[in-house]
Every structure is written in C-alpha cells, then in structure tokens.
Amino acid sequence: MINTFLIGCCYYPEHWEKELMIEDLERIRSLGFNCIRMGEFSWSMYEKEEGKYDFSLLSQAVEEAEKLGISVILGTPTAAPPKWLTDKHPEVLCSDIKGVVMQHGSRQHHNHTSEIYLRYCASITEAMVRHFCGFSNVIGWQIDNEFNCHRNESHSEADDRAFRVWLEKKYQTVEHLNECWGTRFWSLEFNSFSEVTCPRAIPTQPNPSWVTDYYLFLSDTVVNYAAVQTKMIRKYMPQAFITHNGWFDNIDYRKLTEECLDFLSFDSYPAFFERNGLALGRNAAYKLALTRGCSSRYMILEQQSGPGGQLFYLLPTPLPGQIRLWTYQSIAHGAVGVLYFRYRTALYGAEQLWYGIYDHDREENYRSCEIRQITEELGRVGKWFLKNQITPQVAICTDYHNASVNKVESFAPDDCKEIFLALNRKNIHADFICPRDDFSKYKVIIVPHLAMADTALRDKLEDFAQNGGVVILSARSGIKDLNACYVPKKAPGIFRTLTGCSVNWFTTLPAYETQSVLFDGKEYPVDCYYEMLAEEGCETVGRYTNGFCKDQPGITKNGNVYYVGFYCKSAADLYCDLISQHIDVKEPISPDLEEIVMGEVRLCLNHSNKMVEFSGYDLLKEEAFDHIPPYGVVLLKNKE
C-alpha cells in the first residue's frame, strides 16, 4: 500500500500559535519531508462537548499540507479521553491489581472493555473519518497510540464482566474451566462464571492457568478495541491504510495485525539502549525484527530525533551522525517509511523534555541539518529500499501464548532476546516467526523454550529437518499443554522422539555452583537452569564441566535437530557458533559494524564512536570511501 518511500515527522498544530501553521508546514517541506502524522492526542479539542465536533484547526493543517504536496497520516485520539467523558462515566477508568482507579490527568487512564467507552471511541472515530474522507492527501490512519505503553493490565469491574464472557466463550461450562485450570488445587473451584474475576492482589502465587488466560484475554481486549475503530475507517475510507505503533506488553501483535491493520508500525528510540552503554543503540534491532515478524514492510511512526525524556529522566542527546545511523537501521530492518518525533519540542505538558528536530527555540541546529542530508539521500535511493529487503536465513519461532506462559512461570528468564542480539552482533540476522508460518525459506529455525506445542508443530519441524533444515530446541520445551498445565510425559514431552533425548535430571543453578558446557572446544556458561540429558538415539555434542552433571550430556544432536538443555543468557553466542557450522557466516569487519544485505544492496552501519577501516563506493554520498566514520553509514552494491 506504500509505493513511495515516506519520510516526515509528527506535527501538532494545536500546540502552537495558529499564525505559525503555514510557516511550520513550509519548513517541514523544506526539510525534504513528504509526510506528516497528526491528530492522535486532541480529543478534548475536537469534542469540547458531547456530540459537538470541531475539526477546523486540523482541517486547515491538512489543507495547507495538501497545497505543499505533503501526505498526512491521522491518528484517532482515543488514548486520551476528555475530562467531561471520564467525569460523566467514571466506569470507563481502568484499575490496577489492587483496585486503585486511575484518574484523569495523563493518558491511557481508560480501560479497553467498557462498552460505554467503546461507543464513544466509535463515535469520535466515525466523526473524524467522515470529516476527512474527502481529503486526497490523507493516506492512512494510526489507531490510537502505543497500546499498553503506560499500563498493560486493567482490573476494573468492566474488565471482570468482559473476562467472564471471554472465559465462557472459550470453555462453555464452568466445570470445563475448573478441569482445565486445575482449580481443585488450593480449593479454587468456581460454581459459576459469575464468581470469576480478573487476577487480584493475593497473599501468594496465583493459579498459572488463570493468569495465562488473563494475558490472552488482555490481548483480545486490545484487538477488539482496535477493531471498533478499524471498522469505521474501512467503512468510509477503504483506500486508506490502517496501522498502529507498537511494541508493548500483553498484546499479541500478530493477531492485532492480521485482524485489524494493513501493517504494524514501530516507534524507535535507540537512545534508551545507548544510555546503558556505547553502541547499544544497535539493540533496537530486536523490536524492529519483532515488528517485521508481523509485517514484512512497516513504518516507523516515531523515529528518535532528539534527547527524548519524561519529567523523571532524559535520554542522551544523539551525537552527530546518530540520527542518520538510526534512520538507516530502521530501513535496513524493513521500514519503508520513517517519521521523526517530533517537528518541534513542546513548551508545556508532560513531554517538555521530549526533544524533536527543533528545540523549544525553533532555530536550525545540527539535527535539522543531518535530517536534510538523510532526505536528500532518500530522494535518490529510497526506491531501492522499496524493492529490496532483508532476507535472513535464520528464524526464531515463538508465539504470544508461549510468551505468556514464560512470563507467568518466570523463575527462568527467557533468553530469546539475548539469542537474537548475539546473532545480530555476528551479522547473523534473524526473523521472528510463529508455528503456523512457512519454514521453507529458512536454513535454521531456533525454538527457544517453547513450553507449549502440538503434534502439528513437531511434525512440521521434523519435515523441515529431514529436508535439510537445522532445528535448535532448548530447555523446558514441550512440557505443558495449552492450559499451561504440565503434561504427564518425560521432558521434552512432545519433542522427545524429534530430539532423540530425554531429561534425566534438572536443577536451577544454586549460588554456590558454577556450571558451563563444553561444545566444540569452547566453554559456555550456563544461566539459572539446566538439564542433564539422556541419549535415546541422539549423539552428545556438548557436555557439562562441573558438579554432579560433570561430563554428562548438555547438548545433543539427532540428525539435524539439536537440543540445548539449558538457558544461556550470558553465553548466547553459543547459538552463533552452532549455526556457523551450517551456514556461511562472514566474520564482522568490526565488532560494532552491522552489515545487512538487502537484495542488490548492502547497508553497513557503524554503531561505535571509532572509525572503521573499510573501502568501497558509497551509493548514499555517491563517492568512494576508505573508512566508515563514527556512527557512519554506507550503502554498497551487494557484489562489493
């Protein structure tokens, strides 16, 4: 749906003097921008009184943008309901797990289940879409803003009612619910669905099946909430695309995308990582890849352009070159549109410290100059990024349901992110896929700690391995059913024949013990939990080095299927070394140089503050180079 590379910014005309609007939009156009996002936080201005709509200021901004050839993405304003609404209907407010009601005063203080609030959301969305459906430059809509950013749970009465409906639809009878949840334990049996509530503050640990279902329910409430608005946009503007800016907790983004969006988008702020260490902005690749797992092509609706911050923190200011670096990082991982947050820094409100392209003073600065360089480059080569994209040979297979189970049973923290980042540092790029996706385009599939699985996935992995693909399963896989209850089978449960091994003994890692695994002549430390394996047709390729399990199997291989019987958050490079035995891996030119092949072109991103010795012809600057400067970017023909 995007046939031109979109580059622009977020603009809030309601924050500035009306007299500045035309000048602001002309300056936006002079930056080389062809798109702006507006409108997502102004419900109180659009509807000062119930049912009386006024979109005049936003209309003027859209009209002036059209004259300048600027496309517009509008946001529905439902993340911040007006005071008159919450005063009239306090039941739309969300509550925390202790029952404390969130009050008016910031944003996202509503819940997603209130039928009253859903009706108001439908009304304001319909009014907006009907008003702007005749504007030719309104090309798309952003639903709400950053679902679950500030609170990702709600425990209000409306949530309890909706949860009961959701459970009854899933289980049909309360007897079936009791059976699936195992409520006989600790006398938790329910006599009717009306007795069930969302989880509350309790003395000790809750029933894990209850909480897992609650996480699934929370995601479905977001999907339903989005669908209310999507329905209105599809009705009046079927030609416009619909997106949303993730990525936050308790949302199945794959389901949200498939049911409500044309594509998912992301808000990228690498300085959140950079404040913790040099070159850690590279770690933004993790959520870029998660977004790509939902939409092979997506947008960055907020790209960092200044030292963002809230009242209690301030991120580091991007150094010269970093905005350009982060922009191309987003593009390299799949973005076909980038909007900078924001045009100008607000003078008031909770985000006075969230700096944009221009500071409070509106004067030109090195950031605006850097962005002009980016837009000039994209004017020449943006077309390449529309037709060329990253095509990893490796995929990490997971899903929201399993992630929810891992979050409930959290004594062993998932190392999925660390595995991805370790691969990324070796320029082994990975996609995120779910069990129902096509496996055939990959050479290696990593299945990390997939507690719940079915025979369909097992058979699919077996076929993949028999056809030459490499499968890597890891500890605590195949041990639970879909209700988050343990299966009465020896681990790894459903994967036992696939892996050709079983778990003979397991333990968490006590403080007094150090454990590691020797694989291919190198030792890798073990984190938090490990399993001693028994061979059942497989071969042992990695053995433990210490304690009771010394010299016992820790990594096995059954044909093309590996089983890694431990968590290795601090040694995730094990996966890099294992994978490098099966695919060609080029040693990085420099530890902080990210190289990404995108069809006929290749992007090289220097995330460090050191020069990298490297030569070639840069298509961005249209000149030869003999080094990449700190935070530098070069684009090469792939043959180089």
Hey, is 122 helix, strand or coil?
helix
What are the percentages of helix, strand and coil residues in the chain, rounded to 5? 35, 20, 40
Burial class of residue 46, CB neighbours in 10 A (0-12, 13-18, 19+): buried
175 annotated active-site: no
Would you say how long the chain is, in residues?
640
- 114 SS3 class: coil
Task: Check if the beta carbon of residue 389 is closer than 8 Å to that of residue 431.
Answer: no
Burial 86-122 (b: 16+ CB within 10 A, else e): beebeebbbbeeeeeebebeeebbbbbbbeebbebbe
DSSP state, residue 101: B
Q: Tokens 């404390």 — which residue? A: 100
Place of tokens 């339903």: 224
Please tell me the distance from the alpha carbon of residue 395 to that of residue 393, in angstroms, as a whole number. Answer: 7
Of 40, 47, 126, 146, catalytic: 146
387's CB contacts (< 8 A; 6+ apart) are 599
Q: Which residues contact 239 (CB under 8 A, 6 or more apart)?
A: none
- Rounded to an integer, what distance in angstroms lies between the CA atom of residue 268 and that of residue 303? 5
Distance CA 261, CA 251 (A): 14
Q: Provide the β-strand partners of residue 300.
A: 266, 338
Given CA atoms 406, 409, 412, 413 in this order, what sign does their dihedral have?
A: positive
Q: How far is CA 475 from each of CA 208, 463, 528, 588, 614, rounded to the nearest angstrom?
A: 19, 21, 11, 29, 41
Catalytic residue among 126, 153, 302, 594: 302
> What backbone phi and psi angles, to 5 degrees, belong to 198?
-65, 155
Give me the sign of the Cα torsion angle 219, 225, 229, 230: positive
Alpha-carbon distance of 32 to 42, in angstroms, equals 27
**Residue 484, phi then psi, degrees to nearest 5:** 70, 25
Q: What's the rounded Cα separation, in Å, for the pair 513 and 253?
A: 39
Q: In a 3-state reduction of DSSP, which class is residue 9?
A: strand
Catalytic site residue 622?
A: no
Max CA pair span of the chain: 77
Catalytic residue numbers, as ranges? 146, 302
